[in-house]
Structure 1
Amino acid sequence: MNEKLRFDDRVAIVTGAGGGLGRTYALLLAARGACVVVNDLGGSRHGDGASVSAADKVVAEILAAGGEAVANYDSVEVGAKIVQTAMDHYGRIDIIINNAGILRDVSFHNMQAEDWDLIYQVHLKGSYQVTHAAWPYLRE
């Protein structure tokens, strides 16, 4: 049996989708029929800076392959804006992949409170912000 799981007529939000695993998730979902909101702030993996190019490149890849996607450049800390992009373009949300993250390459012993605060803001609170904003639509 070589049937592949399809996501036709589904809308997916993938945070941190400008590279790495997020990009892979976005491309796979689109290849299997999902409309994808490609969210990426465009910062470095350490959380510095911002750029639209990372999300735009992934959207271009999806469109070139015949898929449907739109870019979003907001931070996961304002998840409602990411959700609004999905609603404005597709009118629904079915899938959320909370992939956004930053790297603090220090051992626990050497970690400073500021490092933990940044990790918490992106990894944990960011996932909450996006999912909480999407929850009413996911329940429909």
Structure 2
Amino acid sequence: MSVHLVSNSKISYIAVYFMRFAPEEWKRELKELFSVDDARSLGALLWQLNAAAVDERYGKGEHRLFNPHGYRYLEPAFAPTAMPSYKVMMEWLYQVEGSEASEHRLVEMIKQCAFDTAFEIIARTQDYREARVV
């Protein structure tokens, strides 16, 4: 499995989407446990977990080869929507899966957010609305 750092813009996109749609109790938990209270600080934590997964796979400090400048929050040009948010959440999850970072509480939250987003996407389709159970 090849591990890389997800881009700053994609991590920022995930962070904005999550802060907009995540349950309030998750946001409270993030604030209490990790001092995360906005998209900028959430993005930094997402990046740290991704960097830790890269370092675990390739060696300490190797994440700097992918992004020597570290995380920089980039405000999305438009409000994140379900389909692209799901896509980048799955990319990020793939990068941290199997590492020690995958045990982090935030990973569990992002997985649930991705699941909820996938259901939202599916529920909007005509196939779903017209599906009949025999």
TM bracket (short chain): 0.3 to 0.5
Given the two structures, how large is their TM-score scaled by the length of structure 1?
0.31
The structure whose RCO (Cα within 8 Å, separation 6+) is larger is 2
The structure with the greater share of residues assigned to helix is: 2
Given the two structures, how large is their TM-score scaled by the length of structure 2?
0.32
The structure with the greater share of residues assigned to strand is: 1
